Structure 1
Amino acid sequence: MKLGMIGLGRMGANMAQRLLRDGHEVVGFDPQAAARQALEKHGATSADSLEALVAALPAPRVLWLMVPAGEVTDQSLDALLPLLAPGDIVVDGGNSNYKDTLRRAKQFDAHGIAYVDCGTSGGVWGLDEGYSLMIGGDEAAVERLRPVFESLAPARDSGWGRVGPVGSGHFTKMVHNGIEYGMMQAYAEGFSILKHKTAFGLDLHGIAEIWRHGSVVRSWLLDLTADALQKNPDMAGIAPYVADSGEGRWTVDEAIELNVPAPVITQSLIERLRSRDDDSFTDKLLSAMRNEFGGHPIKKE
């Protein structure tokens, strides 16, 4: 299959390479000339504009977007829509909010263009290991894209699937990332407890390696944790600041809207926000309260 890839950042470029390896033809577009040139070295062709990209594809066309969620996605789609024709398919493989996806799908459906949302997990390892693909959209459109999904997934018959109608792919990926927040927080807290038990002189990397085999807490995330602990046992040079890209917030918002208790995911999000407060007024006020009611000492800066 020949398809266009819009957005040649690390994830988009890696996905394009995986498709090329499996015999697909890829035409890539990115505003950065260096990104286009890098992809060409792997056997793809590139276009220096959306117009040129669309013109290079046979009808009916398949366009796959791997651009940041939000405004950039809207801008890309607004520019792309007038260039397409009925029967074309647009796939959003980024981490868009599913509510935005529903809005965009209506817009494209009015023009006879299928809109497919593909929640994509796999990160920088996806190039070699394959991607977990959570797909939402019309059944016929998804089936038409089967060869693409089979090439991107870890195996042709596993690691991917249509989870429901349009919007459901990004919704599923949102919840996936919320779960990821909770798992990461639990691992981080557990290893912190181990590290603070200095009397035992515990080898955190060694413990991670033990847990990786046979333990009920083994996972790919634990594999990556073990790798990180081997490279940097004390996390030297890493600031205690944890970013979030939105999916955890959206998951918590959805849980509240659906009246579903999700305390672990919610607290893991709060901990990320807390990590960014270099000058915590909250903690200062807590210390002052303890001093007021109990005369407890205040630690000076």
Structure 2
Amino acid sequence: MQLGMIGLGKMGANMAERLLNGGHKVTGFDPNAQARSGLEGKGGAAADSLPALVKALPTPRVLWMMVPSGKITDDTVDALMPLLDEGDTVIDGGNSNYKDSLRRAASCAGKGLNYVDCGTSGGVWGLAEGYSMMIGGDEKVVDALTPIFATLAPGKDKGWGRVGPVGSGHFTKMVHNGIEYGLMQAYAEGFSILQHKQEFALDLARVGEIWRYGSVVRSWLLDLTTDALNKNPTLEGIAPYVVDSGEGRWTVDEAIQLGVSAPVITLSLMERFRSRDADSFADKLLASMRNQFGGHAIKKE
């Protein structure tokens, strides 16, 4: 199967390479000439514009977008629609909000285009390990794309699947990332407790290695955590500042809208916000309150 890949950043380039290694033909477009050259160096073809990419693909065309969520995805879809023919398919493999995917799918359907939202997990490890893909779209359309998904996945029949209609793929990936926030926070807090028990002088990487086998808390995330601790036991040079991609916010918002209790995911998101407040007004006010009602000492800056 021949595929058009839009966006040849790290993840897009790795996906294109995995497809090429699996015997598929890939023609890619990226505004960055170096990224296009990189694809050509791996055996793919490159186009220097979206019109050129569309022209290079056989019909019915399949185009996979790996671009940042939001305006860039909107602009890409808007630019593609007048170039494509009825029956062509657009796959959004980025981290789009599922509501945006529903809106874009409706626009594409009005022109006879198929829209598939594919929540994709795997990051920088996907090239070697394969990608986990949560796919939303018409059943017949998704079935026709099976060779692509089976090649990108960890196995032909594992790590991927259609989860429901359009929008459900990105909705499922959103919740996946919310769960990820909670798991990461639990590991971080647990290892922090271990680290603070100074009299035991615990080897955190050693503890992680023990937990990796047979333990109920073993996971790939623990594997990565242990690897990080082996490489940098004191986490020297790493600032205590945690960013978020937005999907945790969307998950918490959806939980509120659905009336679903999700305290762990919500608090893990709040902890990320807290990590960015190097000069916390709230903490200063707490110290001031204690001084006001109990005469407790205030630590000066």
**TM-score normalised according to structure 2 size:** 1.00
Aligned to 1:289: 289
Q: Which runs of 5+ in 1 are unaligned?
A: none
3-state SS of the aligned residue for 1:72?
Answer: helix
Distance 1:62 1:30 in 2: 16
3-state SS of the aligned residue for 2:233?
Answer: coil
Aligned to 1:189: 189
Aligned to 1:230: 230
Distance 2:146 2:288 in 1: 61
Write out per-residue CA displacement over residues 3-60 of structure 1, whole angstroms, 9 at most, x where no aligned residue: 1000000000000000000000000100000110111110000000000000000000
Distance 1:140 1:125 in 2: 30
Write out per-residue CA displacement over residues 215-260 of structure 1, whole angstroms, 9 at most, x where no aligned residue: 0000000000000000111110001000000100000000000000
Aligned to 2:175: 175
- The reply to whether residue 60 of structure 1 matches residue 23 of structure 2 is no
Distance 1:131 1:282 in 2: 41
Count of matched residue pairs: 301
Pairwise CA distance, 1:171: 0.1
3-state SS of the aligned residue for 1:106?
Answer: helix
Distance 1:8 1:48 in 2: 12
Aligned to 1:252: 252
Structure 2 letter corresponding to 1:92: D
Q: Write the mapping of 1:253-268 to structure 2, written as runs, cut at 5 A.
A: 253-268=253-268
Write out per-residue CA displacement over residues 60-100 of structure 1, whole angstroms, 9 at most, x where no aligned residue: 00000000000110011111111001000000000000000
Distance 2:274 2:81 in 1: 41
Q: What CA RMSD, in Å, does the superposition of the two structures yield over aligned residues?
A: 0.4
Structure 2 letter corresponding to 1:150: A
Q: Write the mapping of 1:68-83 to structure 2, written as runs, cut at 5 A.
A: 68-83=68-83
Distance 2:77 2:278 in 1: 38
Distance 2:122 2:109 in 1: 29
Q: Which runs of 5+ in 2 are unaligned?
A: none
Aligned to 1:273: 273
Q: Write the mapping of 1:67-106 to structure 2, written as runs, cut at 5 A.
A: 67-106=67-106
3-state SS of the aligned residue for 2:106?
Answer: helix
3-state SS of the aligned residue for 2:177?
Answer: helix
| Identical pairs, percent | 73
3-state SS of the aligned residue for 2:227?
Answer: helix
3-state SS of the aligned residue for 1:60?
Answer: coil
3-state SS of the aligned residue for 1:233?
Answer: coil
3-state SS of the aligned residue for 2:142?
Answer: helix
Distance 1:241 1:40 in 2: 38
Aligned to 1:32: 32
Distance 1:149 1:107 in 2: 24
Aligned to 1:128: 128
**TM-score normalised according to structure 1 size:** 1.00
| Runs of 4+ with deviation above 3 angstroms | none
